[in-house]
Amino acid sequence: MATATRAPRQWCLTKTETINSFENWRSNLVYVLSLDTKFAPFLTDGFTWQKKGVENRGLANDADPVPENARRTAAQKAASLDLMLGQIANFCPIISRNRIVKASTSLSDIWQAIRLHFGFQSTGGYFLDIASVKLEPNERPEDLFQRLTAAVDDNLLTSAGGITHHGEAVTTDEEVTPSLENMIVLLWLRMLHTDLPALVKQRYGAELRHKTLASIKPEISLALKSLLAELHCTEEIRTLRLQHPRKQFQGQQPQNKKECPLCKQSGRPSIDHYLSACPHLPEADREYILRPRHHRDNTI
C-alpha cells in the first residue's frame, strides 16, 4: 500500500529571520502549495499576473493543447490565484496583506518584497556584506562555514534578479563553480585565522598538487582543532619573545668594550680607555703604538 505524501507543517515568518531560515520557509511553503493542483501553474518559474484591479488579473482562458475536460476559465484561475496569495499572506504576517494579495505580480516579486523587509535583498551591494561575516563568540567553525556558504549562494545571479553584469542582463541562473567553492573555503580559513591558509598549504601541499582546496575541506575540518592550536602556540611564543627580549649574561663583556690590559693587570679601573690612552703608559711606548705601522717596521 502506497504511503500518502504528507506535507510538513508550515510555519509563519517572524520578525528576526536569517537568509537560511527564510529560504527554508520559502521552500517549504512552495512545496505545500504545489500539493494543490490548482496552485501548481502559478508556481512555475517566470509565471506572472497582473495586480488586483486588472480583470481576472490578466489571466486567459485555457485553450488547446489543454484537454477540454481540464480547461479552466480566466475567472477560475484568478479565484485560485487569490486563494494561493491569501495562503502566502497568512504565513507572512510581517508584510502587508494587500502587498501580497493585491499588489504582487509574481512569486519572485513577493520573495523580493520579503527579502527587502529583512535587509537581504539581492543587489550588487549586498555582495559586499560577505566581508562582515566573521566567527561569532561560541560559534563552531562549521557553523561559520555554513553561514558563509549561504551568503555566497544568496548572491548568485539569477535571471529574475534584475541585476546586470557588465551592462548585460543575466539570462541563466548562476551556479556554484569549483573555483567559487575554493574561494569559499579560502575565505573561511582566513576568517578562522589569518595564518591558517599558509599552514594548510604547508600541511596539505602534496594533496593539493592534484586536488582542489574544496575537495580536502573535510580533512581540514577534522584537523582544524590541532591546526589552530599550533597557530596559537606560535603566537604565544612570538608574544613572549617581544615582551621579554634576551638579556646579556651577567659578567659577560661585550666584544667591542674599551679595556686597558695594563690597568687590568695592575688592578686599576681598566674598562674606560684603551691601552694607547692609558695615563700610566710611558710616553715612548705610547708614541710607538700610535706611530703608523710602516714606520714601526722600519724602526725594528
Q: What is the pLDDT of residue 249?
A: 45
Distance of alpha carbon 83 from alpha carbon 255, whole angstroms: 94
The answer to whether 5 and 35 have CB atoms below 8 angstroms apart is: yes
Q: Which three cell numbers stand for residue 56?
A: 481576472
Q: What is the pLDDT of residue 287?
A: 73
Q: Which three cell numbers stand for residue 86?
A: 491569501
- Banded pLDDT at 298 (limits 50, 70, 90): low
The residues spanned by each domain of the chain are 19-121, 128-163+173-243, 261-299
* pTM greater than 0.85: no
**Per-residue model confidence as pLDDT tens digits over 224-239:** 999 999 998 888 887 7
**Per-residue model confidence as pLDDT tens digits over 162-199:** 788 898 888 888 899 999 999 999 999 999 999 999 99
Distance of alpha carbon 23 from alpha carbon 154, whole angstroms: 9
**Per-residue model confidence as pLDDT tens digits over 49-78:** 999 999 999 999 988 888 888 888 999 999
**Per-residue model confidence as pLDDT tens digits over 92-108:** 999 999 999 999 999 98
∠ CA(87), CA(94), CA(28), 5° rounding? Answer: 45
How large a percentage of the chain has pLDDT more than 90? 50
Phi and psi based region of residue 166 (left: phi greater than 0; alpha: psi -120 to 50; beta: remaining): left
For the chain, the average pLDDT equals 84
pLDDT at 116 over 80: yes
Distance of alpha carbon 202 from alpha carbon 208, whole angstroms: 10
How large a percentage of the chain has pLDDT more than 70? 86
Q: What is the pLDDT of residue 125?
A: 76
Distances from the Cα of 85 to the Cα of 44, 72, 74, 89, 107, angstroms? 15, 18, 16, 6, 9
What's the rounded mean pLDDT across residues 199-207? 94
Q: Which three cell numbers stand for residue 69?
A: 475536460
